């Protein structure tokens, strides 16, 4: 199972939210690049970079942060937040993203999202399927739709998507443990899914539990920033996983 540290950006700074609420934003670093380098120095190969300004705006905002990290590290970056048009996507890939995550766009403008899959290939597009009570949430989690999570994901998998980030919003940033039962349910019902768990990771055992249910990857944010899981522990987990 891959470990993917998260860097969420507001005004060029590393922040974390609780349950997606922007009013809870806590700044952890003024230098996203230094955070990214620290992850790389401990054996991390992947990074989940989210443009929270873009998620609330009309398009991508913090692409310069993406470009800086992409050019000064070897991290494989998936980028999300504010990707609403073909031009936004072009900017993200030209700025160094290896993959992009489409969340709100997939439900608000599925035709555009599907065209991205056609143009760039499903391997470069991640479906962001964030949920509250198994209903899809959109617009930086400011809105909840009427779409049921599992049928929604299944529909896009039928169009080629395999990589899916699922955040249970009730867990995000709360350091209360991930939604193991939800992820187990998704994996059992969605054949071929590469599920990237996000939200709630609070301790090292959570990573072992996510691996045990079959998650392809786990995004870790606040647990690292709050020193609940050390980068040394992350490094050891990666080494142990790669040697299995």
Q: Where are the domains of the chain?
A: 2-242
| Residue-wise pLDDT tens digits, 74-130 | 999 999 988 999 999 999 999 999 999 998 899 889 999 999 999 999 999 999 998
Q: Is the pLDDT of residue 140 over 60?
A: no
pLDDT for 241: 84
Q: Taking the mean position of all CA atoms in its chain, how far away is CA 149?
A: 16
Q: For residues 177 and 10, what is the distance between their CA atoms, to the nearest angstrom?
A: 25
Q: Which of 134-143, 203-212, 229-238 has the lowest mean pLDDT?
A: 134-143
Active site residues: 8, 130
CA angle 106, 111, 116 (to 5 degrees): 75
Chain centroid, CA 115 distance in Å? 21
Q: Taking the domain 2-242, which CATH number applies?
A: 3.20.20.70
- Please tell me the predicted confidence (pLDDT) of residue 172: 65
pLDDT band at 139 (very low <50, low <70, confident <90, very high): low
Hey, CA dihedral for 142, 153, 170, 39, is it positive or negative? negative
| pLDDT of the residue at 25 | 85
**pLDDT(173) > 80:** no
Instruction: Please tell me which residue, 22 or 178, carries the higher pLDDT value.
Output: 178
Closest by CA to 60, choosing from 35, 96, 32, is: 96
- 193, pLDDT greater than 60: yes
Report yes or no: 14 and 37 within 8 Å, Cβ to Cβ: no
């Amino acid at each position: 199972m891959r470990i993917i540290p998260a860097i969420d950006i507001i005004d060029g700074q590393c922040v974390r939210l609780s349950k997606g609420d922007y009013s809870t934003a806590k700044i952890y670093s003024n230098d996203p690049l230094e955070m990214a380098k620290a992850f790389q120095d401990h054996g991390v190969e992947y990074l989940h970079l989210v443009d929270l300004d873009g998620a609330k705006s009309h398009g991508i905002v913090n692409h310069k942060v993406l470009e800086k990290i992409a050019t000064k590290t070897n991290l494989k970056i998936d980028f999300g937040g504010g990707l609403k048009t073909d031009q936004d996507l072009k900017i993200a890939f030209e700025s160094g993203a290896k993959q992009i995550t489409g969340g709100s766009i997939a439900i608000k403008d599925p035709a555009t999202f599907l065209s991205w899959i056609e143009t760039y290939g499903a391997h470069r597009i991640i479906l962001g399927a964030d949920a509250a009570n198994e209903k899809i949430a959109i617009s930086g989690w400011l809105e909840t739709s009427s779409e049921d999570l599992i049928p929604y994901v299944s529909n896009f998998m039928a169009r080629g998507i395999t990589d899916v980030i699922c955040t249970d919003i009730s867990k995000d940033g709360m350091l209360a443990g991930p939604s193991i039962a939800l992820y187990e349910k998704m994996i059992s019902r969605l054949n071929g899914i590469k599920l990237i768990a996000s939200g709630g990771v609070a301790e090292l055992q959570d990573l072992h539990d996510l691996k045990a249910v079959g998650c392809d990857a786990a995004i870790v944010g606040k647990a690292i920033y709050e020193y609940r899981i050390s980068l040394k522990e992350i490094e050891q987990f990666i080494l142990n996983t790669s040697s299995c």
